[in-house]
A and B are shown apart, each in its own frame.
Chain A
Amino acid sequence: MLSILYHHFLINLKSRLIYRWDFLLAIFIKGLEGFCGFIMLDFLMSKLTMLAGFSKANVLLMFGISELAFSIWHCFFINSLSIGNYLHDGSMDRFLLKPINPILQILMDGFDEDGWGALVFSIIVLFIAKQQGAPLASFQDWLFVLLFAANGSLIFFGLSLFLSSFSFLARTQTNLGLFVMDLRQFARVPISVFPKWFQVMISVLFPLALCGFWPTQFMIHYDFTILFFIFLISIVFTSFSIFFFYFMLKKHYESTGT
C-alpha cells in the first residue's frame, strides 16, 4: 500500500513539475496567502490587548496549529473535493473496479503539492508564537502540536468528504465541498467570540474548533480531559463521514453506461 502511495505521489509531483514556473509560483503564493492571514491577525491584535481572553502569542499558536492542519489536508486530502467532478464526467467507475479502497484512490489521484508553501509558513508562525511566549518550550509540546495538526487535517478531510458526498445526489460538482476553504476561518479564532449555541456546534457537530481552539486550550492548561474529547470527537466525526460516503455511494450512485 505504501509503495502505491509513494508512486502516486511521484506521479503527481512529476506532472506538476512539468509546469515548473507555475508550480513554484503556486507554492510561493500559497505560503504568502498564509502570511497574509497572519499579517491581518497581527494588525487586528495590535489594536487589542487580548482576544476573548487569549494573548497575542496564544492567538498566533491557535492560528499556527489550524494552518498546519489545513495545509496537511491541502497537500494530501484535497482531492476529496473532486468527487463531484468524477461523477460528472463518469470516471468514478475506475475507482470502484480496482481492488483498493476507493477513498484512498480518490485521494491519491490528486495530491496537491501547492500546499507545501502553506505548510512551511505555518511552521514559521508557530516559531513566531513561541518567540512571543506561547507554550512551545519543550519537545513534548511540539509533538503535541504535530499530533493536533494531523488530527485537524483528518477533521478537515471528514468535513470535505461529508460535504462532497452530497454530489451523489446532484451527480455533479455542487461546490458544497468548497465550503471547507471558507469554514477554516472558524478554526483560526477563539470560539468564545461566538454565541454559546454556535460554540457547541463547531465543537461537536462540525468540529472545526478541534483544529485550533481546543488544541490551544490543551497546550495552555495541559488538561487531558480536553485531549480525550478532541480525539474522541475527531474519530467519531471522521468515521461518520466515511460511513456517509459509502452510504451515498451504495444508495445513490449509478454506474455510467448501465
Chain B
Amino acid sequence: MVKLAKLAKTVKMVKMIFDRATFHNFLLLVSGYYSIGWKNEWAYKFRSLLNAGSSVILLLFQFMLWSYLSTENNKIQDYSSYFVIMYILNLIYTTEADLSLSRSIVKGSIIHDFLKPRNVIFYIPWECFGRNVARLLIAGFPILIIAMFFSRLVFKFSDLILCFPLVLCSFVFVVALDLIFGLMCFYTQNYWGVLSAKSLVFLLLTGRLLPFEFYPSWLEKVIVKNPLAHAYYNAANTIRGSYSYENIIGLYIEQGFYTVLTIIVLIFIWKVSLNRLSLHGSIHGG
C-alpha cells in the first residue's frame, strides 16, 4: 500500500515536471533570474571594460613572453592562442557566486533571500549565467577579435561546437563549486580566507598559469584528469583542435559525472549549513 502511494506520488511529480504550464512557469522564472544578471552587468559595463583592459595587459605579457620563448627555443611552441582561449573561458566561468553568497551570509542579509519565494542555490546560477553572457559580449568578444587580428588565432567551427556541451557542463560545475566555497562562510564567519583558497585551487588545477605540458610527466598525467582541467585546459585544447571525437565523448561523460556529484555535495552542504543559521528578532509568541 505504502509502495503504491509512493509510486503515485512519483508519477504525479513526473507529470508535474512534464506539464506544459509548469514548464512555462519554469521558463518564466529562469528567464527572470537570467535577465536580472544580464541587466546588472550592463549597468556596470564600464567596470567590465576596465577589467578587460587589465586582462589585455596580462595577455600582452603572455604574448610577449611566449613569442620570445618559442623563437629562442625550438622545443617550445607559441602558447599565445592558448592563453587567449583561457581568458575567454575564465570570463565564462568567473561568476562571483561565491562572493555574493558568502557576503550575504557574513552580513546576515541571506535572511532576505529566505523571505522571498525563491531558492538561493537555484537563483544564483541563473543570475550568474545572465551576467556572464553580458560580460562575454562586453569584454570577451572585443578581446577575441583583437587577439585574432594580432596572434593569428583561428578557430574551426566544428571544434567550437564540440566544445560547447563541455563548456556548458563545466559552467554548472564551477558555479556549484563556487557555491560550496561560499557556504564555507557558515563555518569560518568570514570570506577572505576561503575565497583565497578557492583562487589558489583554480590557479593550480586549471592550467591557467602554465600549460600542463610543462609540469613533470607524472603530475601531468594525474592533474589532466581533474574536473577543473576539463573545464579549462581540456576545453582550450578542444578549441585548438587537439582532441578526437572519441576523446571528447569521454570528457563529456567524466565532466557530467563530476557535475552531478558536485551538485549532490552542494545540496547536502546547503542543508547541513542551514542548521548553523541563527536569526535575531524572531516573532514573539503569545
List residues of A whose CB falls within 8 A of some B CB.
Answer: 19, 21-26, 29-30, 32-33, 36-37, 40, 43-44, 46-48, 52, 114, 170, 174-176, 178-179, 182-183, 185-186, 189, 193-195, 198
Contacts of B203 in A (CB 8 A): 33, 36
Contact between chains at A21 and B188 (CB < 8 Å): yes
Q: Would you call B27 an interface residue if the criterion is a C-beta within 8 Å of the partner chain's C-beta atoms?
A: no
Contact between chains at B189 and A40 (CB < 8 Å): no
Stretch at the interface among B167-175, B208-216, B252-260: B208-216
Contact between chains at A174 and B50 (CB < 8 Å): yes
CA A22 – CA B189 in complex, angstroms? 8
Write the chain A residue with the least CB distance to B199.
Answer: A33
Nearest Cβ on chain B to A46's Cβ, whole angstroms: 8
Nearest Cβ on chain B to A93's Cβ, whole angstroms: 24
- B37-64 vs A, CB cutoff 8 Å, 1 = contact: the mask equals 0000000001100110011011001001
Write the chain B residue with the least CB distance to A175.
Answer: B50
Contact between chains at A43 and B210 (CB < 8 Å): yes
Contact between chains at B194 and A22 (CB < 8 Å): yes
In the complex with contacts A36-B209, A44-B210, A175-B50, A114-B192 CB distance below 8 A: yes
Contact between chains at B188 and A19 (CB < 8 Å): yes
25 contacts between A and B (CB under 8 A): A19-B190, A22-B191, A23-B190, A25-B193, A26-B196, A29-B197, A33-B200, A40-B209, A43-B215, A44-B210, A48-B73, A170-B46, A174-B50, A175-B51, A175-B54, A176-B50, A178-B54, A179-B54, A182-B54, A182-B55, A182-B58, A185-B61, A189-B65, A194-B64, A195-B64
In-complex Cβ contact of B193 among A26, A33, A46, A178 (8 A): A26
Write the chain B residue with the least CB distance to A45.
Answer: B214
Q: A25-B188, A47-B75 are in contact. List 19 more A-B contacts (CB 8 A).
A: A21-B187, A21-B188, A21-B193, A22-B191, A23-B193, A25-B196, A36-B200, A43-B216, A46-B216, A47-B73, A48-B69, A114-B193, A114-B196, A175-B50, A179-B57, A186-B61, A193-B69, A195-B64, A198-B64
Query: Interface SS of chain B: helix, strand, loop or mixed?
Result: helix
Contacts of B189 in A (CB 8 A): 19, 22
CA A30 – CA B58 in complex, angstroms? 20
Contacts of A193 in B (CB 8 A): 64-65, 68-69
Count A-B contacts at CB 8 Å: 91
In the complex with contacts A48-B73, A193-B68, A29-B196 CB distance below 8 A: yes
Nearest Cβ on chain A to B54's Cβ, whole angstroms: 5
Contact between chains at A22 and B54 (CB < 8 Å): no
CA A193 – CA B73 in complex, angstroms? 13
Q: Would you call B17 an interface residue if the criterion is a C-beta within 8 Å of the partner chain's C-beta atoms?
A: no
Nearest Cβ on chain A to B284's Cβ, whole angstroms: 31
In the complex with contacts A19-B188, A175-B47, A29-B193 CB distance below 8 A: yes
Contact between chains at B193 and A47 (CB < 8 Å): no
CA A189 – CA B188 in complex, angstroms? 37
CA A175 – CA B199 in complex, angstroms? 18
Contacts of A19 in B (CB 8 A): 188-190, 193
Contact between chains at A22 and B64 (CB < 8 Å): no
CA A93 – CA B58 in complex, angstroms? 35
Q: Would you call B261 an interface residue if the criterion is a C-beta within 8 Å of the partner chain's C-beta atoms?
A: no
CA A21 – CA B200 in complex, angstroms? 17
Contacts of A182 in B (CB 8 A): 54-55, 57-58
CA A116 – CA B73 in complex, angstroms? 37
Nearest Cβ on chain A to B278's Cβ, whole angstroms: 17
CA A250 – CA B103 in complex, angstroms? 34
Contacts of B194 in A (CB 8 A): 22, 25
Contact between chains at A47 and B209 (CB < 8 Å): no
